Chain A
Amino acid sequence: MWDTIIIQPFVNALLAITLVVKNFGVAIILFTILIKLLTYPLTAQQMKATKGMQALQEDPRYKKIQVKYKNDKEKFAQEQMKLYKELGINPLGSCLPMLIQFPIIIGLYQSITRAMAATPYELLGLERLFYGFLDPAQLLPLQNKFLWMDLGQPERLDIFGVAIPILAIIVVITTFLQSRLLQPPTSSNDQGAAFSKAMGLYMPILMGWMAYSLASGLALYFVVSNIVGIAQYAMLGRVNWSNLFPFIKKKEEATGKGKAVQPTIIEVEPINDDEEENESEQKKAGKPSSRSVVKKQRPKLKNKRK
């Protein structure tokens, strides 16, 4: 099922490109770009939805209902849905495109692996994936030499007798750049920021290790995928160059362009059904209400900017 729907069309597209360009390395690059272009609308939709969700998080009304219904999840969900509708946000907008893209990315990776059949057993499997319009005898095995690389082997470039994993280094750099450039500007205490930071540190190491130990055809795919990914996000205006070049941030702040928005402080009097019930009971008992205690601890409800 997976092979028929995803792997077979992908492998045949990859083979058809190879037939035209006569080079498997170039075919990997073109095929990765093609898949990235085809999934661009999904990426754009995902980014739009993510942006909407970020805006929602900063919306005073959202913060207000968060506090207001902190003990009533059902009511909170209802109010949240109202707000979604009001702001035109689809709560699944960022998940769905990602869910659709996920099998495509996995399929792309697997089809490249399958096309680089390294044993007779793997070549037999590849031969059986061919559609009728392609001739296995003409195409197989694929020409796996590209630049200095054997695409079926881990890549090393011999420089003055030292084997240097150039491609793995490029994978580390591009993965680092991608995670750094896509990191949203958030406060240092933010949990999401901590996660992004951790991913930004470990992902380049993980990807670099994979590029170092796996076939260089896959490392080539990682590099192209990273570069195209950065380009796509840049086109969507989601790249934070200031993460990489702090002087841009300073310059923007100086010109007032990228002036940081001061956080909005929302002060809310919690309205809780339980509390109200308690309050009436406490009144009857002649005790001070919990609300009055809260009132003493917090200023009155109003929005103000500091």
Chain B
Amino acid sequence: MKKSKIMFISVFTVMALLLSACTMGPRAVGTPGLSADGDIVYVAYQQYVYAVDAKTGNEIWRFPDEGNAQIVFYAPPEVTGESLFVGDMANKFYKLDKETGAEVWTFSEAKGWSIAQALADGNVVYAPSGDWSLYKIDSNGSIVWQFETSQAIWAQPAIAGDTIFLGSMDHKVYALSSSGQLLWETELGGAVAAAPLFDEVTENLYVSSIGKEFVALSAKNGEKRWTLDTDGSIWAAPLLNEGQLLFADETGKIFAVNAETGKVTWSIESGGAVMAGLAAIDGGFVVVMEDGTIRAFDYEGNPLWTREVDGELYSTPVTANGLLVIAAIKGDNLLYGFDGSGNQVWSFNPGK
């Protein structure tokens, strides 16, 4: 064989390998999207959405049947009634049968990735997208309206009556009518990556940003009622317990704040970087840290127990069947189930 032919074949082989390498693997790196409904835990991670039995940690189903390297899931699934809604990183948004994982319909009109959890309300679902828009989708998977912001939407919307509250990475919080009309908008000091929380008692909307601030807005007109400056960015929604707001900033500082006045009741250092939201357990709450540490506190800020898992923790934990479920990356397992005393009951590794 001529040298030139050997050269052509060699170069072709190297190029073919490079090409195949370029098409492999997810196009972005994300963290598991976790949610729960009854005794079932749902987790969206990489090429699949998994339904896991919270009693045993066994897989019930996965969607899709065959994974595709180009289609990855990181948005927490939204579960309601008989349905599960989830978006992927290939600009598709799906309605699945929550019992079987069978696809009911696919919405393909968005042009951006799904990072945020959708919000189901009756027969409609609000799907935020990385293409800067919030889509209202009817029960058949058809678009009702689209509201465009000035940046990607990474936060789940909130709803109170007929008003939809939306935080955007464009540093703004929007209030929309059920017909998609803008009611008000308020600018914050940074991008809003955490879902807003509406409090029926105070009629405040609590929002936070990566601009190191936690803000209470009037749900009626968006006026700022109080602002609390923090040392680090806030990446997740707060926990509301009997008029007390609980949240952690990226530095790991946990705040307990009076929801009405914004006054800090107490604050403690959790001991590690925190990106996830706090999760309520019996008699207190847990905080999960980037380094794999899980710490439980009572509502006075007193420590209850501390555990560690292999891996890094970025997803807000959920409770199902009385168990606390934690999602980890870069570790041995994807999910861990703990009882109220912090004893590990099961772990889940989906394999391939």
Residues in chain A within 8 A of chain B (CB atoms):
118-124, 127, 136-138, 140-141, 143, 150, 152-153, 189, 191, 194-195, 197-199, 202-203, 205-206, 209-210, 213-215
Expressed in whole angstroms, the Cα–Cα distance for A137 and B349 within the complex equals 36
B253 at the interface (CB under 8 A from A): no
Interchain CB contact (< 8 A) of B4 among A191, A209, A210 = A191
Interchain CB contact (< 8 A) of B211 among A137, A195, A209 = A137
Contacts of B27 in A (CB 8 A): 118, 214-215
Interchain CB contact (< 8 A) of B30 among A120, A140, A195 = A120
Contacts of B23 in A (CB 8 A): 209, 213
| Given A141-B169, A194-B8, also A127-B210 (CB < 8 A) | yes
B11 touches A206 (CB 8 A): no
A137 touches B189 (CB 8 A): yes
Contacts of B8 in A (CB 8 A): 194, 197-198
Q: Can you sample 25 A-B contacts with CB below 8 Å?
A: A118-B130, A119-B30, A119-B74, A120-B30, A121-B31, A123-B193, A123-B210, A124-B314, A137-B233, A138-B190, A150-B111, A153-B111, A153-B112, A189-B4, A191-B7, A194-B3, A195-B11, A197-B8, A198-B10, A199-B11, A202-B11, A206-B22, A210-B22, A213-B23, A215-B27
Q: B64 CB to closest chain A CB, in angstroms?
A: 20
Contacts of B10 in A (CB 8 A): 198
| Given A191-B4, A194-B4, also A141-B22 (CB < 8 A) | no
Contacts of A215 in B (CB 8 A): 27
Contacts of B15 in A (CB 8 A): 202-203, 205-206
Interface size on B, residues (CB 8 A): 41
Interface residues of B in 13-58 (CB under 8 A from A): 15, 18-19, 22-23, 27-31
Expressed in whole angstroms, the Cα–Cα distance for A141 and B115 within the complex equals 14
Contacts of B4 in A (CB 8 A): 189, 191, 194, 197
Interchain CB contact (< 8 A) of B29 among A121, A137, A143, A189 = A121
Contacts of B11 in A (CB 8 A): 195, 198-199, 202
B327 at the interface (CB under 8 A from A): no
A209 touches B3 (CB 8 A): no
B205 at the interface (CB under 8 A from A): no
Expressed in whole angstroms, the Cα–Cα distance for A205 and B11 within the complex equals 12
Expressed in whole angstroms, the Cα–Cα distance for A202 and B15 within the complex equals 7
Q: Shortest 6 CB-CB distances between A and B: which pairs?
A: A137-B211, A194-B4, A137-B190, A198-B11, A119-B30, A118-B28
Q: A219 CB to closest chain B CB, in angstroms?
A: 12
B7 touches A141 (CB 8 A): no
Contacts of A194 in B (CB 8 A): 3-4, 7-8
Contacts of A195 in B (CB 8 A): 7, 11
B218 at the interface (CB under 8 A from A): no
| Given A137-B210, A198-B8, A198-B11, also A209-B314 (CB < 8 A) | no
Residues in chain B within 8 A of chain A (CB atoms):
3-4, 7-8, 10-12, 15, 18-19, 22-23, 27-31, 74, 111-113, 115, 130-131, 151-152, 154, 169, 189-191, 193, 209-212, 233, 235, 250, 275, 314
B30 touches A121 (CB 8 A): yes
Expressed in whole angstroms, the Cα–Cα distance for A214 and B27 within the complex equals 8
A202 touches B12 (CB 8 A): yes
Expressed in whole angstroms, the Cα–Cα distance for A146 and B131 within the complex equals 14
A206 touches B19 (CB 8 A): yes
Interchain CB contact (< 8 A) of B193 among A120, A191, A213 = A120
| Given A150-B131, A194-B4, also A209-B30 (CB < 8 A) | no
Expressed in whole angstroms, the Cα–Cα distance for A127 and B22 within the complex equals 26
B28 touches A136 (CB 8 A): no
Interchain CB contact (< 8 A) of B275 among A120, A137, A209 = A120
Q: B315 CB to closest chain A CB, in angstroms?
A: 10
Contacts of A136 in B (CB 8 A): 190, 210, 233
Q: A13 CB to closest chain B CB, in angstroms?
A: 22
Q: Which residue of A lies closest to B193 (CB)?
A: A120
A127 touches B233 (CB 8 A): yes
Contacts of B28 in A (CB 8 A): 118-119, 122
Q: Which residue of A lies closest to B171 (CB)?
A: A137
Expressed in whole angstroms, the Cα–Cα distance for A210 and B113 within the complex equals 19
Q: B3 CB to closest chain A CB, in angstroms?
A: 5
Expressed in whole angstroms, the Cα–Cα distance for A18 and B14 within the complex equals 36
Expressed in whole angstroms, the Cα–Cα distance for A197 and B152 within the complex equals 44
Expressed in whole angstroms, the Cα–Cα distance for A16 and B7 within the complex equals 44
Contacts of B12 in A (CB 8 A): 198, 202
Q: Which residue of B lies closest to A199 (CB)?
A: B11
Q: Which residue of A lies closest to B131 (CB)?
A: A150
Q: Which residue of A lies closest to B116 (CB)?
A: A120
A140 touches B191 (CB 8 A): yes
Contacts of B189 in A (CB 8 A): 137
Expressed in whole angstroms, the Cα–Cα distance for A295 and B23 within the complex equals 60
Contacts of A197 in B (CB 8 A): 4, 8
A141 touches B31 (CB 8 A): no
Contacts of A213 in B (CB 8 A): 22-23
Contacts of A152 in B (CB 8 A): 130
Q: Which residue of B lies closest to A136 (CB)?
A: B210
Since A119-B30, A124-B235, A213-B23 are in contact, a sample of 13 more A-B pairs with Cβ atoms closer than 8 Å, ordered by chain A residue number, is A118-B113, A118-B130, A119-B115, A120-B115, A120-B314, A122-B28, A122-B29, A136-B233, A137-B211, A140-B190, A189-B4, A202-B11, A214-B27
